[in-house]
Amino acid sequence: MLMRGYHIAVVGATGAAGTELLRVLERRNFPVASLRAIGSARSVGKSVSFRDESIRVEKLADQSFDKIDIAFFSAGSDVSRDYVPIACQSDAIAIDKSSAFRMDPHVPLVVPEINAEDLRRHRGLIANPNCTTTVMLMALYPLHRAFAVRRVFAASFQAVSGSGARGVEELKQQIRQAAREPGSTIPATVYPHPIAFNLLPHIDSFLQSGYTKEEAKMQEEARKIMHLPELCVSATCVRVPVYRAHSVAVSAEFERQVSIEQAREVLSKATGLELADEPQSNHYPMPLSVAGKDNCQVGRLRVDCAFENGLSFWVSGDQLLKGAALNAVQIAELL
């Protein structure tokens, strides 16, 4: 690779989010001078492809960040906690997709379409938000700018690829087994119950409050990204037997009265978002419509019948792209 550009390290290059990141760097023609693909000891000997080249995966080590300009992390919070500081000490800028540093007040948590200006105060580390929160905010934030959001109720429908490559494999195996032996007990390892033909109202661990950590992130991260420290977001996060792309049903209350026409106008102009709202012709956002696409989609707009100044809507987005790889590369582009 003789191109001029940046020396890049991808930690977690063999995983679901890391694989997607390599594809996004390629197709957005990010100026990559050299690329180091990093995984665990399990991946040593494997290779990943980048721009028609086969790159051998290296085992993560303290020296992995020597002469690296930008290090993307998607290998889980424990790895980030241990190795992001090492990357920063080596003068690399770290863009972290895990939750390890998201709520650190010194670390910007950035969705470029919403709070790109927060990047200016980075100290070598930028956090990429939770994927479900990002998909919800892609539609909620433009509405907030226009009508000032007061509080939010949300229910998420999250794809198995949100649990990484293992989640996808578990759903595939369970579907195969159910077809082979209908009515048999389906073994589950990644999730506490079968995910095929089922819904699991349980993502991440339960907190004392009764909410899960994933649900708490929807409030905490929305507050930080939108600069609304008092915002209340009551969420129920559900894992669904969908391979790719998360969806969120949102009911939001605003300070100002919202009309459907105004909401449509606002949403149709928002960057990174498409309005898919022609229910009479069965046109609304769905995981299958947004999988593999950069833009999120919003639809099913209606005046909410329970809230004053309320609007209900449904938003879908590819969580491996806007919720992870695309958002991380957009951050790098802005830097």
Ligand X SMILES: NC(=O)c1ccc[n+]([C@@H]2O[C@H](COP(=O)([O-])OP(=O)(O)OC[C@H]3O[C@@H](n4cnc5c(N)ncnc54)[C@H](OP(=O)(O)O)[C@@H]3O)[C@@H](O)[C@H]2O)c1
Residue 319 touches ligand X, criterion: CB under 6 A:
yes
Q: Which residue in 131, 144, 237, 296 is the catalytic one?
A: 131
Complex with ligand X: residue 42 or 269, whichever CB lies closer: 42
- 158 strand-pairing partners: 239
Please, which residues have CB within 8 angstroms of residue 237's CB and are 6 or more apart in sequence? 132, 155, 156, 158, 201, 203, 204, 212, 214, 215, 218
232 catalytic residue (yes or no): no
How far from each other are the two terminal CA atoms of the chain, in whole angstroms? 22
Q: Which residue in 7, 122, 144, 246 is the catalytic one?
A: 246
Complex with ligand X: residue 8 or 320, whichever CB lies closer: 320
Total interface residues for ligand X by CB under 6 A: 30
Residue 320 touches ligand X, criterion: CB under 6 A:
yes
Complex with ligand X: residue 195 or 320, whichever CB lies closer: 320
Residue 42 touches ligand X, criterion: CB under 6 A:
yes
Residue 165 touches ligand X, criterion: CB under 6 A:
yes
**How many residues does this entry show for the chain?**
335
* Token output for 145: 């700018």
Within positions 47 to 106, which residues make up the interface with ligand X, using CB under 6 A?
Answer: 60, 74-77, 79, 97-98
In angstroms, what is the minimal distance from the CB of 325 to ligand X?
8
Residue 219 touches ligand X, criterion: CB under 6 A:
no
Q: Amino acid identity, residue 99? A: S
* Token output for 74: 């998607």
Distance of CA 331 to the CA centre of its chain: 13
Residue 18 touches ligand X, criterion: CB under 6 A:
yes
Complex with ligand X: residue 14 or 251, whichever CB lies closer: 14
237 catalytic residue (yes or no): no
Choose the stretch contacting ligand X; rule: CB under 6 A; options: 160-168, 179-187, 201-209, 304-312.
160-168
* Token output for 177: 């087994």
Residue 8 touches ligand X, criterion: CB under 6 A:
no
Complex with ligand X: residue 61 or 260, whichever CB lies closer: 61
Among 35, 203, 323, 331, binds ligand X (CB under 6 A): 323
Among 142, 164, 194, 287, binds ligand X (CB under 6 A): 164
Q: Are 65 and 87 in contact (CB under 8 A)?
A: yes
Complex with ligand X: residue 169 or 274, whichever CB lies closer: 169
Binding mask 113-132 for ligand X (x = CB under 6 A): ------------------x-
Question: Which residues are tagged catalytic?
Answer: 131, 246
The residues that touch ligand X, with contacts defined as CB under 6 A, are 11-18, 39-40, 42-43, 60, 74-77, 79, 97-98, 131, 161-162, 164-166, 319-320, 323-324
